Amino acid sequence: MHGGFFCAWTRQTTQASGDRTTQTKYELSDELSTIDWWALANIMAAANLFERKAFDIARAFHGSYASVFVHKGDELGAAARAMSDRVYYATVFDVVVATEHQKCGVGRLLMEGLLAKLPFKRVFLTSVFGKEDFYAKFGFLRQTNAMGLYEGPALTSAVQRGILQANA
């Protein structure tokens, strides 16, 4: 389900001096062949996602049901992907917006683009702490029955960060 998906979004802002208007053009695409996987690895590291290698990130996105990216010119600003059984369910993974592109509508553009590619009645998402209200704007509700199975350092990190809790 790759290729052919593209839109442009322009955000106008007024400078503090009040006499200048700048335009920032963000472009949404699902084209995997143009992605700088090292840049995406750096964006993910800055967002405090688990340590990931560029090669593994590329493999994950290439193996996904849907992927979307936001660029500002040649600069990668955001990415997200989803996996699916192609019948009932999809799960959103790796939603990340570079720090310098946050609070500009990029996350909204990214999620709208990804959700448009998911024709399923049940879409799951794991959010980082503090972003739940953002996802609620798209209709996501808190799920109370999810569990995770992690191993090794990923398990240790998830427990330390409060992502996973021991069963009572």
Distances 119 to 2, 19, 115 between C-alpha atoms, Å: 15, 45, 8
**Do the domain assignments include residue 132?**
yes
The residue segments making up the domain with residue 85 are: 6-160
Give residue 19's pLDDT band: very low, low, confident or very high (50, 70, 90): low
**Do the domain assignments include residue 146?**
yes
**Do the domain assignments include residue 167?**
no
Look up the CATH number of the domain holding residue 38.
3.40.630.30
**Do the domain assignments include residue 166?**
no
Contacts for 86 with CB less than 8 Å, ≥ 6 apart:
65
**Do the domain assignments include residue 57?**
yes
Tell me the two tokens of residue 126: 């794991």
Beta bridge partners of 91: 83, 124
**Do the domain assignments include residue 1?**
no
pLDDT at 129: 84
Whole-number mean pLDDT of the chain?
87
**Is 7 a residue whose pLDDT tops 70?**
no
How many independent structural domains does the chain possess?
1
**Do the domain assignments include residue 165?**
no
